[in-house]
Amino acid sequence: MNIQDITQEINGYIEAENSDAIRIALAEVHPSDIASIIQNINPDKQSYLLDSLDPETASEVYFELDIDQREEIITDLDEEKIADIADEMASDDAADLIGELPEDTAETVLSKMDPEEAKDVEPLLLYPEDSAGGIMQSELVKVENDTNVRDSINWIRLIADDVEEFHGIYVTDNKDKLLGFIPLQKLIIANPSSSAQSVMEELEVSVTPYIDQEEVANIFKKYNIVTLPVISDEGILLGRITADDVIDVISEEAEEDIYQYAGLKEHLHPIYTPTYERIKVRSPWLLLTLVGELLIALIIIKVFEPTLVKVAILAAFMPAIMATGGNVGLQTTTIIVRSLGMGTIKTKQIFTLIASEMKVGLALGAICGILSAIIGILISYNEPQVLKLGLAVFLAMLSATLATSFVGVAAPIILQKLNFDPAASSGPFLTMFNDIFGSLFYLLIAMLIL
């Protein structure tokens, strides 16, 4: 049965207010498909559907819902039910859920949760959402260094139900200071009477909780690991981050960057997001850019009109100059943003980078400029000042690519220095900057030459 058919069936049960039937109908459906179904039904009924699920299923469905929608949906449930759902989640997920609730609700939910679970969740609420502490979970398996392998396995037997997925156990001293790690594949074949300390591997890498999640992702990439311990400044074991969390982080960050290029701050579903919402999210950047472009119009009218009246064909090359400058700037800023993200360049190399990119920009501008000048001369050969026009096109192309190469390097690096996302330098901002420079440089050069 496909999702559309199930959705139709569910819609029937919702009308009949038959939550048992809903639960039964969705028993064999994957949580992410249930999330799709929820997002496909009438927004007024979405909370009812989530509420109809048993807490365990609801806990698996919740994070498959779009981030904006789920906050609204969950807030409509009563706090007892939210607490039941949070109890079923791993501590990192429960902390994220509670972090998304209004403050009052969050406190009530925390107080209604199973005290054992709440104890795991509470410390996690202290860390920023996009930090190592924000994505780690408290549930893990640890033993003291003098525990032997047999007792370690017995300990696993005792707590196996509470810790969801683990691939090894952490070894600490008697003050909870992290000493090492024993992968299960090693523990399973170790001598039962050996001490944990003698079997463990030294840790290659660990992080502290306030490190940014993007840096955590880079560590997973660099070390090819599936789990990473989080420790305090004093070396106390606080939690662990697993590869599946990192997969989510990388997807989110990549998506964020891609949206930023288009001046969007979130995903807008082309069918399900209400039209009004889509217009509201998309218009600010458009209007901001438009202001810059209308400024161009103002300057052209006030300053360059006499030149344009004399040589109207100047206007013909404005699109070519703006597009070339814009494309070179986009290439440059993309290269710089990615290099910063991968850590292969440093912000203090700014002058080397500007020089290096402007050299390439100069070459690209020269190639495009010569080509445009030649074509310009050929197609307007009967104009009186055709050679001067060609020269103006060439020089304008050159200055536009130099200017956007400069800004393409400087803008992301300065943003990074100021702790903003360097990717914000691309997209509509770059288009606007480039259009202003491209068109005005060109007309200025033309006015001086002609």
Query: Who contacts 413 (Cβ-Cβ below 8 Å, separation ≥6)?
Result: 336, 340, 347, 350, 353, 422
| H or E element in which residue 437 lies | helix 428-449
Asked if 147 and 118 count as a contact pair (C-beta separation under 8 A), the reply is no
Count other C-beta atoms under 10 Å from residue 128's C-beta: 13
Query: What is the C-alpha to C-alpha distance for residues 246 and 328, in angstroms, rounded to an integer?
Result: 33
Candidate ranges 10-18, 111-119, 125-133, 342-350; the one touching a second copy (CB under 8 A): 342-350
Asked if 344 is part of the footprint of a second copy (rule: CB under 8 A), the reply reads yes
Asked if 236 is part of the footprint of a second copy (rule: CB under 8 A), the reply reads no
Asked if 174 is part of the footprint of a second copy (rule: CB under 8 A), the reply reads no
Q: How far is the CB of 311 from a second copy (least distance, A)?
A: 9
Query: Who contacts 195 (Cβ-Cβ below 8 Å, separation ≥6)?
Result: 145, 146, 147, 148, 149
What beta strand segments (E) does 29-158 contain?
Answer: 142-144
Comparison of 211 and 386: residue with beta carbon closer to a second copy: 386
Candidate ranges 8-16, 75-83, 116-124, 277-285; the one touching a second copy (CB under 8 A): 277-285
Asked if 16 is part of the footprint of a second copy (rule: CB under 8 A), the reply reads no
Candidate ranges 49-57, 106-114, 221-229, 231-239; the one touching a second copy (CB under 8 A): 221-229
Given 180, 209, 229, 428, the residue binding a second copy (CB under 8 A): 428
Give residues 73-132 in contact with a second copy (rule: CB under 8 A).
none
Asked if 357 is part of the footprint of a second copy (rule: CB under 8 A), the reply reads yes
Comparison of 24 and 301: residue with beta carbon closer to a second copy: 301
Given 124, 435, 441, 445, the residue binding a second copy (CB under 8 A): 435
Query: What is the C-alpha to C-alpha distance for residues 403 and 415, in angstroms, rounded to an integer?
Result: 18
Q: How far is the CB of 347 from a second copy (least distance, A)?
A: 13
What's the sign of the alpha-carbon dihedral 101, 103, 105, 109? positive
Asked if 30 is part of the footprint of a second copy (rule: CB under 8 A), the reply reads yes
| H or E element in which residue 178 lies | strand 178-183
Asked if 250 is part of the footprint of a second copy (rule: CB under 8 A), the reply reads yes
Given 46, 137, 372, 404, the residue binding a second copy (CB under 8 A): 372
Contacts 24+ apart (CB under 8 A), 50-57: 50/74, 50/77, 51/19, 51/76, 51/77, 51/81, 52/19, 52/22, 52/23, 53/22, 53/23, 53/26, 54/23, 55/81, 55/84, 55/85, 55/87, 55/88, 56/88, 57/23, 57/26, 57/31
Given 67, 290, 387, 448, the residue binding a second copy (CB under 8 A): 290
Give residues 298-317 in contact with a second copy (rule: CB under 8 A).
298, 300-302, 305, 308-309, 312-317
Given 119, 265, 352, 384, the residue binding a second copy (CB under 8 A): 352
Q: How many residues bind a second copy (CB under 8 A)?
A: 117
Given 58, 171, 353, 396, the residue binding a second copy (CB under 8 A): 353
Comparison of 21 and 308: residue with beta carbon closer to a second copy: 308
* Cα 135 versus chain centre, distance: 14
Given 115, 157, 174, 233, the residue binding a second copy (CB under 8 A): 157
**Which phi and psi angles does 4 have, rounded to 5°?**
-60, -40
